Chains A and B, each alone.
Chain A
């Protein structure tokens, strides 16, 4: 803007500026107990006071990266994330290694990671077999993945929505007997790569099925990132008629650059759980070369700027992101990390 001297590349005061910003520093108070209760939106702005960030990098992120990384690096990544203040870290997926080779080492990862008190380590379990395997490996929370699109369900897991719900009910039943919490995901909440438009009513219907079977939280996923604040609002309005706000989460992909605007819309409506992926790991399998998950760093930067507590230290997340990007030999997808690391060392 204006006439900027082209010689200007580094600026000492800019480093100083970064330190002054809210986001550099220790997390605020320790996070309140696991599930935020309704009525917690006591901020003047009407926004939640606290937002739980669910870190999906090690699972959703790594599963959608081209390069497969060794088990010890995965474990190192998760251990680093455990020290950032993140309250939930999705660790791995107990699916057939034929289907998802990137997650073949699920048992080793589950057994190898440090388990920090106060941090949840959910794993994906598509069926009863995966569930039993997960429990045997030490899992104490699991997730099931539904979809609001028949075509997507068929293409992804080779069965109808109804059939998949049947499988999840088996998992939910066993989980209930063992006091294991189950998180439910609904994919294609704002659009489907095969069907295109998805009605909010369908998203509400599938969400309700998952909630009724015992899922404590429903994460609504904009799987191909096509949503905008407009479609996010309409979808949430429909779902909120069936599911209490405190049981809702949003899982936005940044494929069309809309993720933060969509997340902002969701939190303005009272949603207090947001999924994200360190360094924005995980591309989009449906648009070659395009990005996928929203970057945890960028989400936290925004929430810090809004005065919303997350309990997460942004700086340590950036360091974990730097670690995994080096291991993957790729550039970060986080703009906050890009802007910060490129100005030289942060001391």
Chain B
């Protein structure tokens, strides 16, 4: 059967905004995160401490981190690709960080210009510092159901990288279908392999809706016992590998499904939709959430 509760990890302000064409000013980002904090979401990924040369959309990371309301009971993790980023994050008040691995050598090379093993070495520096500061670290594994460069990814590789990151000390591993190419078939196979190495309670799924498969893939993950799901308000964040295609699954649509299944999330769908409306206006774009589209009597 299904888990009774699901933790929804909101990645809109980071993964979403990072992959949007239009950049929004710092006050808008802060307002977005503050609005999300009122919806009942337990985790909101706030920003990314990477070099502004690489990711200009996240250049204001320190201001955002310092500017947001931090409500008790809500986590505001930030991305930290290396020790430098980690230190900057902590200095700006971060209490949780995230590191990004991949199940594909070619993707890692193209993305951060090193091998998977080298990337894990970099992360181990972050892990050591995080442990010393009692800061929890979440691990992401990209390309778990396919890679834009390598194509098919073996489930064994996904399990291997996940295991390494879990053993390093990540409290949770978020498995990302980076190009949305997975289906319930490949999701099931991949999770079966990973669940041999990492306890299901430490697993999350991060599905992209590029091929419309996200909710079906998430359904299968839930059926297998996964109880943490990443999503992005209004489905913010297109796919960098397929021009014009969508990326992240919309939080509204996910919550609608979970509500229908009687699964507790603690999230107020109406407040969430209002937040989506706000950020879409600011970005001057239509929502990617079908629930929002349907509920809006134009």
Neighbour of A256 across the interface among B56, B182, B209, B256, CB < 8 A? B256
Which of A231, A257, A304 contacts B215 (CB under 8 A)? A257
Contacts A3-B54, A257-B291, A335-B211 hold; do A228 and B260 have CB atoms under 8 A apart?
A: yes
B13 within 8 A of A: no
Q: Is the pair B147, A342 in contact by a Cβ cutoff of 8 Å?
A: no
In the complex, are the beta carbons of B294 and A287 less than 8 A apart? yes
Cβ-defined contact, B253 with A256, below 8 A:
yes
B183 and A339 contacting across the interface, CB-CB below 8 Å: no
Interface size on A, residues (CB 8 A): 55
Question: Taking A257-B215, A305-B186 as contacts, is the C-beta distance between A343 and B246 under 8 angstroms?
Answer: no
- Are A3 and B240 in contact, with the CB atoms below 8 A? no
Contact check: which of B102, B241, B296 meets A11 at CB < 8 Å? B241
- Asked if A229 and B219 sit within 8 Å, CB to CB, the answer is yes
Binary contact track B51-63/A, C-beta < 8 Å → 1, others 0? 0001110000000
Q: Taking the complex as formed, is B86 at the interface, i.e. its CB lies under 8 A from any CB of chain A?
A: no
Contact with A along B110-122 (1 / 0, CB 8 A): 1110000000000
CB distance from A40 to the nearest CB of B (A): 18
Bound Cα distance from A334 to B242, whole angstroms: 14
Contacts of A11 in B (CB 8 A): 148-149, 241
A4 within 8 A of partner (CB): yes
List which A269-326 residues lie within 8 A (CB) of chain B. Answer: 284, 287-291, 295, 298, 301-302, 304-307
When distances are taken between beta carbons in the complex, the residues of chain B under 8 Å from A16 are: 151
A1 touches B15 (CB 8 A): yes
Query: In the complex the two chains form, is B211's CB within 8 Å of A2's CB?
Result: no
Does the CB pair A258–B215 fall under 8 Å? yes
B182 CB contacts on chain A under 8 angstroms: 305
A260 is an interface residue with CB less than 8 A from chain B: yes
Does chain B have a CB within 8 A of A265? Answer: yes
**Distance (Å) between the CB of A339 and the closest chain B CB?**
4
User: Does A17 lie within 8 Å of B148, measured CB to CB?
Assistant: yes
A96 within 8 Å of B by Cβ?
A: no
- The B182-207 residues at the A interface (CB cut-off 8 A) are 182-186, 188, 206
Question: Roughly how many angstroms separate A3 CA and B218 CA in the complex, as a whole number?
Answer: 24
Contact of B261 among A228, A295, A335 (CB under 8 A): A228
Interface stretch (choices B31-39, B89-97, B173-181) = B173-181
Q: Choose among A289, A305, A335 the residue that contacts B296 (Cβ–Cβ < 8 A).
A: A289
A169 at the interface (CB under 8 A from B): no
Complexed CA–CA distance, A287 and B224 (Å): 34
A229-B261 in contact (CB<8A): yes
A242–B54 alpha-carbon span in the complex (Å): 61
- Which one of A17, A338, A342 lies within 8 Å of B181 (CB-CB)? A17
Query: Which residues in chain B, 264-298, are within 8 Å of chain A measured between CB atoms?
Result: 289-291, 293-298
Which residues of A lie under 8 Å from residue B290 when comparing CB positions? 254-257, 290-291
B71 on the A face (CB < 8 A): no
What is the CB-to-nearest-CB distance from B175 to chain A, in angstroms, rounded to a whole number? 11
Q: Is A336 an interface residue (CB 8 A)?
A: yes
Nearest-neighbor residue (CB-CB) of A304 within chain B: B183
> Which of B146, B212, B297 contacts A335 (CB under 8 A)?
B212
Cβ < 8 Å to B, chain A residues 194-237: 225, 227-231
Taking CB atoms, residues of chain A closer than 8 Å to B212 are: 260, 295, 298, 301-302, 334-336
* Nearest neighbor of A265 in chain B, beta-carbon distance: B219
User: Does any Cβ of A come within 8 Å of B73's Cβ?
Assistant: no
Judge whether A290 and B15 touch: CB under 8 Å. no
A290 vs B292: C-alpha distance in the bound complex, in angstroms?
9
Structural contact, B260 and A257, CB atoms closer than 8 A = no
A10 within 8 Å of B (CB atoms): yes
Which chain B positions have C-beta within 8 A of A307? 185
Most chain B CB neighbours (cut-off 10 Å) among A20, A227, A335: A335
A339 close to B245 (CB less than 8 A): yes
Q: Which residue on chain B has the smallest CB distance to residue A2?
A: B100
Residues of chain B at the chain A interface (Cβ within 8 Å): 15, 18-19, 48, 50, 54-56, 79, 81, 100, 102, 106, 110-112, 140, 142, 146-152, 176, 178-186, 188, 206, 209-213, 215-216, 218-220, 239-246, 250, 253, 256-257, 259-262, 289-291, 293-298
Given contacts A230-B262, A258-B256, 5 further A-B contacts (CB under 8 A): A11-B149, A17-B148, A17-B152, A264-B220, A288-B297
Q: List 20 A-B contacts (CB under 8 A).
A: A1-B142, A2-B79, A2-B142, A3-B54, A4-B18, A11-B148, A13-B150, A45-B185, A229-B261, A256-B291, A257-B289, A261-B215, A264-B219, A284-B294, A290-B290, A301-B183, A301-B212, A302-B213, A305-B184, A338-B245
Which residues of A approach B to under 8 Å, CB–CB?
Answer: 1-6, 8-11, 13-14, 16-17, 20-21, 45, 225, 227-231, 254-258, 260-261, 263-265, 284, 287-291, 295, 298, 301-302, 304-307, 334-336, 338-340, 342-343
